Structure 1
Amino acid sequence: MPARLRPASAGEVAEALARVAADTAERADLKLLTKHYLALLEERAPGRSVEVRVPPFAAVQVVEGVRHTRGTPPAVIETDAATWIALATGQLEWATAVGDGRVVASGERTDLAPYLPL
């Protein structure tokens, strides 16, 4: 069973966000922030009915409902790290990201707007 994601320390998050804002972020910053915000989403929206994927860094199952156990989940959300970080920090609205094609969401319960920003 994969290790559960854990939020990063406040200092690590602040430093990584500063580098993102200054457009000097490195892959390690994107990875840290992606995993941090996915961990927060797990806490805010516990469950296993929707899989949120942010390749290549991590994926989590969230939102109450029918539990997914094998194969392709019936509800999937996929986006890139920069978009996920913007959604999690409130710099981008869910509807805008979906409408612009920056987020691909299919299946039931894939509207994360009630849980964002984190």
Structure 2
Amino acid sequence: MHLIHAHWRALPEQQTPDSLKVWLKASAVPADALEHVSVHPTGPGRLTLGLFHALPRLRDAERAALRLSRRACDDGPLRAYTLLSCGSVMVPCYHNLLLAETPDTGEDGTGQDRFRPGANAWDPSGPRQD
């Protein structure tokens, strides 16, 4: 499953359509593999959609989210909005660890506890301090 964010802006400012979540789920085709939709108003006239697609490849999930977003803009409740961006969500801490010179495998050696807060907290802008 992949989370894709679609960021929108409306000019002039609009309220988030009440039926947006229902419309998106009803408008998805089986090939979109849309599992869940979250709607987040992020400011006056701004909106972020979280689209969860159960597709094996990220590229396919991003394409499905873009198709669905275009339908919402062309024929649906977001006609007054402009799509600003549509893509996967990056997790900077994870990618910083991938680029580190010495891999961190966590306390138990599996790498499963690297992102837990507490004693292993670290500043992502610099090297990890254990």
Normalised-by-shorter TM-score class: under 0.3
Normalized per residue, which structure has more helix? 1
TM-score normalised by L of structure 1: 0.28
For the pair shown, the structure with the greater C-alpha radius of gyration is 2
More strand by share: 2
Q: Which has the higher contact order (CA 8 A, sep 6+)?
A: 2
TM-score (norm 2): 0.26
